[in-house]
Each structure stands twice: as C-alpha cells, then as structure tokens.
Amino acid sequence: MPIRIDGTGSAVPRNRRLSDDIDAELGKPRGWLFKQTGVQSRYICAGEDQVDLAVDASLQALTNAGLTPGDIDLLVFAAAVPYQSIPATAPLVQQRLGIRDGSCASYDINSTCLSFLTALDLVAASLLAGRHQRALVVASEVASRALPWAEHPRVAGLFGDGAAAAIVSPGDGPAGLIGAAMETYPSAYEACQLGAGGTRYDFHLQPDDFAARSYFEMDGERLFRETLKHFPGFLDRLLARAGWQRDEVDLVVPHQASPGALAHLAKKSGFRANIVVDIARDFGNQVAASLPTALDVARRAGRMPPGTKVLMLGTSAGISIGGLALVT
C-alpha cells in the first residue's frame, strides 16, 4: 500500500526517575532495580496528564512534517488505557489541537501494546480508499498510575510514561506498507491484565475486587514462554508476506517490552543487534507509546532515509503478535 510517514514526534514527562533513586525508596541496595529490569531510567507524570503528552507529541509530528493541525482530517488515538472510559480520547486530543468541529474524524483503537501498529495498518487502508487525505496517529500512555510497586517491584520497574505520534498520507512513489500481520493467542489472556475499570467488576457490589484489580498484573515468565513459542513462525510468515529475506531488513523497530526481551528478540530472530532500535534502558516500557517513540528516535537520528526497509514488531496482552513491513 503506497503510504508515507511525513513526520513523527514524541514526548515524555518532565520528571525522570532513576532506578538508583527508586532503590532507596524500596529499601534495596543501590543497583538492585537496574539489575532486575535492565531499565536505568523512566519518565513519570507529575503535573502532566495523558492528553498533555499526546498533544505535545502530535504538535512535534506536525512540525516535523511541515503541517498544521488544520491539515489533519483523520485522528486516531492508539493506547492500551484511555484518558477515561467514555467518551473516546481522540476527540479531546482533536479539541486540544484546535482542529475545528466537523473537519476531522477522531476515534480510538486499542490492541494494548500493538495499538500503534494496528492503527497504522487500518489508517493506511482508509487513506488508500480515498476516505481521508492525511492522518495523525498518536499513542499516549500513563502506565505509572497502576503499577504494583509494593508487591511486584520487578514488574513495576519496567514501565514509564510517554507519547509518540506519526503523520501519515497516501504515497506516490516506492515508499509504502509492504506487508502486515497480526496473530492472537487468547489461551494466555490472563497473563497480562488490568482487571478494573471496565464492566468486569461492579464498583458498587464488588468494591474490594475492584480495588484489588486496579493494579497492573503480569506473569512475565508465562508471556515470555508463549511469545517464544509463536514468534519465530510469525516472523517467517510476515517476511514471506513482504517478500523479504532476513538479511534484507535494514532496521527493526520493536515494542520496547524490556531490555532483556529486546536482546532475546535480536538473537532469536537472526537480526544483527545494531539494526534493532533499543531505547528501553532509558525510557522503560511505555506500553503502546513504546514502538512509535522508538520510530521517532530512529527517524530523528537519520536511520530511516528513503528506501530503508523497516520491520516494526511487537507483542501485546491478550496475547497478540503483530508486525508491519515498511519501505520509507
């Protein structure tokens, strides 16, 4: 599908928290959290909120593309957790960007950590169908609100807050989306979850259950086993769909699950470590914002000149494995 990414942007809160500082708060020896997670620092919201970050990243992407908010006629907010349950977050981002009423379609997409990839895939189809001319896809997450620091600091220490955005338009040259795939294995549905906030628990009738399930839960070992079981075959199928061999891939932009997971991804997939974009040590796992943040970092570092074969890969709660093959 001939599309192009015209601009990208990313944003983080002002508050940067080092693992060594958190060690002191947890009563652990200096270096403990970094050793457990591989994450040296992460950014945590204090005065900012999720929409602030989304707007900041979106404005950066628009500036990078040489555009204004009024040039956008499709806005997709792609995140695991919304600003509130109802309404969708996208209309609020539209309002805060100053995009006038009725000039833009705005809606949310949620496939947890794969939300940005899912949105990019669906937006490409909409653009090529002629329904829209230019789209803004933005992912913003405040993972810090529900982390189980007391019970599971090894899990909590993996995550950070942040947002990233991309401007997408129809292409007119060799650049485009070459292949896309997503496979879901719900047998591991409960390995990663945030149970409260939806309709599963009645806040009035089950207040204790609601409160207990308001914290993020993750069985990292189970997720790793399930991913390891299915990922190699998925990657083979995605590359076949794109018509690429492994050694043709110029850049791998993965979801930043953890530094350890990224190292294993490179080794298991046969990719050279130097073509895998790895920012997890400095940002942590920003859920759906992780992958587009890595994309923005790579673009601004000059790692995606025209003609670059880019593979975007990730896994998500549910569990799903997804990927896009893109030529810049």
Q: What is the mean pLDDT of residues 115-136?
A: 96
Q: Which fold has domain 177-327?
A: Peroxisomal Thiolase; Chain A, domain 1 (3.40.47)
Share of the chain above pLDDT 90, in %: 84
Phi–psi pair at 116, nearest 5 degrees: -65, -45
List pLDDT tens digits, range 247-265. 999 999 999 999 988 888 7
Cis peptide before 305 (omega within 30 of 0): no
What type of residue is 296?
A: D
The Cβ-side half-sphere exposure at 320, using a 13 Å CA radius, reads 18
Q: What is the mean pLDDT of residues 176-189?
A: 94
Looking at residue 83, its pLDDT comes to 97
CB contact at 8 A, 325 and 242: yes
Looking at residue 253, its pLDDT comes to 97
List pLDDT tens digits, range 12-58. 999 999 999 999 999 999 999 999 999 999 999 999 999 999 999 99
Give the contacts of 28 (CB within 8 A, at least 6 positions apart). Answer: 153
| 172: pLDDT strictly greater than 90 | no
Taking each helix axis from N to C terminus, what angle separates 259-269 and 220-242, rounded to the nearest 10 degrees? 40
CB contact at 8 A, 17 and 45: no
What type of residue is 70?
A: G
pLDDT, mean over the chain? 95
CA angle 207-211-215, nearest 5°?
160
List pLDDT tens digits, range 137-157. 999 999 999 999 999 999 999
Question: Cβ atoms within 10 A of the Cβ of 273, count?
Answer: 12
Q: Which fold has domain 3-172?
A: Peroxisomal Thiolase; Chain A, domain 1 (3.40.47)
Looking at residue 268, its pLDDT comes to 81
Looking at residue 21, its pLDDT comes to 96
Question: Cβ atoms within 10 A of the Cβ of 47, count?
Answer: 8
List pLDDT tens digits, range 292-301. 999 999 999 9
Sequence ranges of the domains in the chain? 3-172, 177-327
Looking at residue 221, its pLDDT comes to 84
Tell me how many helices (H) and strands (E) the chain has: 11, 13
Looking at residue 266, its pLDDT comes to 80
Q: Do 3-172 and 177-327 have matching folds? A: yes
